[in-house]
Amino acid sequence: MLEPDPGPSFPRLHVRPRRGWLNDPNGLCRVDGTYHVFFQHNPYEPVHGHVHWGHVSSDDLLRWTEHPLALVPQPGTPDAAGCWSGCVTVDDGVPTAVFTAVPDHAWNAGALLARGDATLTRWTPGRSFVAGPPFLEGVEEVRDPFVFHVDGHRYVVQGAGSRHGRPSLLLWAADDLEAWTDLGSLLTDDDPVAAVVAEANLWECPNLVRLPVAGADEGEEHERWVLLVSLWRWVDEAHELAGVRYLVGDLQPDGPGLRFVAASGGVVDHGAAFYAPQVLPDGDRTLLWGWSWEVGRSEDQVRDAGWAGVLTFPRELVLDAAGTLVARPARELAELRRDPLALSGAPLGVAAFELRCTAAARLRLVDDGREVFGLDVGGSSDAPTTVLVDGSLVEVFRAGGTRTERAYPTATSGWFVDADPAALEGWVLGLG
């Protein structure tokens, strides 16, 4: 039986299953030349619950093959209520998922391992906690393990905090992935830069990676440590996901462990629909995917559509000479360009397209003569703006920064671009 057409709002070039719920990208890795992207997924309905790990793979970052579910909650086990965020690392040649296991509630979450085969399509989950809540003063919830390496040793960092308290990142020595050693905190909001840049009650989805510094002169550092944290806040007795921040700094020895000392920081994405990114070091570059949630669709509209959430296109990250995080579309995405886009002032008439703007420009979605979405996307000749639209997902790259938004085309709506034609070019996007 064929699935019904998902409609003009469905992002067809991005990572997401045809139906169900999707949130955080997990387990990003490249094994034997193949990219693997896992993600939190409820295959039964488009709401957060029954969280599994979905799985897709690609040889080119453009064409994605969907695989059977990778991690599945099992009744009576530590992940009975969900297999939440985590990463994939290679341990003695074995692909290994290190993920948040939820037995009943988030405040009881711990970390589990699952061992994969060479294709990363068959997984054998462990059935004992590697590390549960540390019961440290002020820490009520712990989640989102991320593995990193320093000087030949393996570490795990986890997000932590409490509803009415302060955020922190917990650090573990993990040369033996089956036996972690508590090393205290990697970072707390006692750090003055983190306190201002990344105000939250809980830091989620920590990522720690070394990024190249573009244009670094001789004698200057050519790489810096960059830490990403997603901001979970407790506001009016409800949780609020308040965006993603980056911190640039140094890892310093701290007793038997390490301490991250921030020097600067900023906003990872300035849009209303971006959270919980994960990075993938990939040779001479670092890639990033983020979760884009639904903005402006009612619960009834989501249920009628049968799907919610999508992953962004992959982005390449660097630091500029001033230490500012810079993102650009992954270089492979240029291969999605098909025909030049007709930019006559009429509706664009396509569901997926790219724009390149070198002067003032405005992107509008108009339905029955009414503007339902509008965004200024102008750039300059020195710093052109790139806009990527696929169904309801709008990704803007301007002057090194990014903005992720959602807008929902219908059968009666159309995209328009208001700009000087001499300062605008575009392409229809698709797979050949």
Whichever domain contains 278, its CATH number is 2.115.10.20
8 assigned to some structural domain: no
264 shares its domain with 345: no
Average of per-residue pLDDT across 123-130: 75
Tens-digit pLDDT profile for residues 128-168? 666 555 556 778 999 999 999 999 999 999 999 999 999 99
Q: What is the per-residue pLDDT for 108? A: 86
How far apart CA 156 and CA 147 sit, in angstroms, is: 5
Domain assignment of residue 79, yes or no: yes
CA distance 138 to 152: 32
Contact predicate 280/29, CB 8 Å: yes
312 and 276 belong to one structural domain? yes
In this structure, is residue 14 part of a structural domain? Answer: no
Backbone phi, psi, residue 176, to 5°: -100, 110
Tens of pLDDT, residue by residue over 266-307, are: 999 999 999 999 999 999 999 999 999 999 999 999 999 999
User: What pLDDT score does 222 carry?
Assistant: 87
3 in any annotated domain: no
Kindly state whether residues 374 and 292 are assigned to the same domain. no
| pLDDT tens profile 21-62 | 999 999 999 999 999 999 999 999 999 999 999 999 999 999
> Which residue, among 268, 208, 209, 214, has the nearest Cα to 242 in the 3D structure?
268
Helix (H, G, I), strand (E, B) or coil at 56: strand
Same domain, 270 and 339: no
pLDDT bracket for residue 1 (50, 70, 90): very low
Tell me whether residue 319 is in a domain: yes
Domain membership of residue 341 as a residue range: 333-429
Do 33 and 77 lie in one domain? The reply is: yes
| Same domain, residue pair 234 and 372 | no
Q: Is the pLDDT of residue 218 over 90?
A: no
401 shares a domain with 319: no
Mean pLDDT of the region 158-185: 94
* Mean pLDDT across 308-337: 97
Q: CA angle, 207 as apex, 24 and 89 as ends, to 5°?
A: 80
> Of 305, 332, 359, which marks where a domain is finished?
332
Do residue 303 and residue 345 come from a single domain? Answer: no
What confidence score (pLDDT) does residue 297 get? 94
1 assigned to some structural domain:
no
Q: Does the residue 54 lie in any domain? A: yes
Same domain, 343 and 263: no
Question: Which of 317, 332, 347 delimits the end of a domain?
Answer: 332
The CATH number of whichever domain residue 342 belongs to comes to 2.60.120.560
Q: Which value, to the nearest 10 degrees, does the dihedral of the CA atoms of residues 125, 128, 134, 135 take?
A: 120
Tens digits of residue pLDDT in 13-23: 999 999 999 99
End-to-end CA, the chain: 26
Residues sharing a CB contact under 8 Å with residue 281, sequence separation 6 or more, in sequence order: 209
Per the CB < 8 A criterion, the answer to whether 31 and 432 are in contact is no
Per-residue pLDDT, averaged over 310-318, amounts to 98
Task: Show which of 301, 332, 363 is a domain's final residue.
Answer: 332
Distance set, CA 323 to CA 76, 222, 293, 384 (Å)? 48, 11, 29, 21
- Segment 352-373 mean pLDDT: 96
Q: What percent of the chain has pLDDT over 90?
A: 87
Number of compact structural domains in the chain: 2
Residue 87 within a domain:
yes
Judge if 256 and 386 occupy the same domain.
no
Q: Which two tokens stand for residue 356?
A: 């390149």
Model confidence at 198, in pLDDT bands (50, 70, 90)?
very high
Identify whether residues 300 and 408 lie together within a single domain: no
Read out DSSP for 150-205? ETTEEEEEEEEE-TTS--EEEEEE-SSTTS-EEEEEEEETTSHHHHHHT--SEEEE
What's the mean pLDDT when you consider all of the chain? 94
280 shares a domain with 386: no
- Structure pTM? 0.96
